[in-house]
């Protein structure tokens, strides 16, 4: 599966949802997640993210993000249409330590 990681937090560009053939993105206040059981591993969303937030779970160190994606995909609403990013999205692009903003 592919997973959405920290770089999405507060950026939420939503380019990813437009290309997913199985509409397996789910939307929280500050980031999106991928439902790991719905993702068909096609990989087309990965290069679409301007924040480089989408990773294959074969990359090392993503266990925490895989758990977070699975947990919140089960409860957040589905999103399949691109929408405007937050007005301050660019300020957060590439910022460190964004996990602190997850619940803000």
Q: Provide the 3-class DSSP secondary structure of residue 100.
A: helix
Contact status: 54 vs ligand F3S (CB under 6 A): yes
**Of positions 24, 39, 51, 66, contacts ligand F3S by CB under 6 A:** 51
Q: How far is the CB of 42 from ligand SF4 (least distance, A)?
A: 4
Rounded to whole angstroms, how far apart are CA atoms 35 and 4?
10
Separation of alpha carbons 54 and 34, rounded Å: 9
Beta carbon nearer to ligand F3S, 40 or 94: 94
Q: How far apart are CA 11 and CA 63, in angstroms?
A: 21
**Tokens standing for 53?**
């937030």
- Tell whether residue 68 is a contact of ligand F3S (CB under 6 A): no
Task: List residues binding ligand F3S (CB under 6 A).
Answer: 4, 8, 11-16, 32, 49, 51, 53-54
């Amino acid at each position: 599966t592919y997973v959405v990681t920290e770089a999405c937090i507060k950026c939420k560009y939503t380019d990813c949802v437009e290309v997913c053939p199985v509409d397996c993105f789910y939307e929280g206040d500050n980031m999106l997640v991928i439902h790991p059981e719905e993702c068909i591993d096609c990989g087309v969303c990965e290069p679409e993210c301007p924040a480089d937030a989408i990773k294959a779970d074969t990359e090392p160190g993503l266990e925490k993000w895989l758990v977070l994606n699975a947990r919140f995909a089960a409860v957040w609403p589905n999103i399949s249409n691109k929408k405007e990013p937050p007005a301050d999205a660019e300020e957060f692009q590439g910022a460190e330590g964004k996990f602190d903003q997850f619940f803000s």
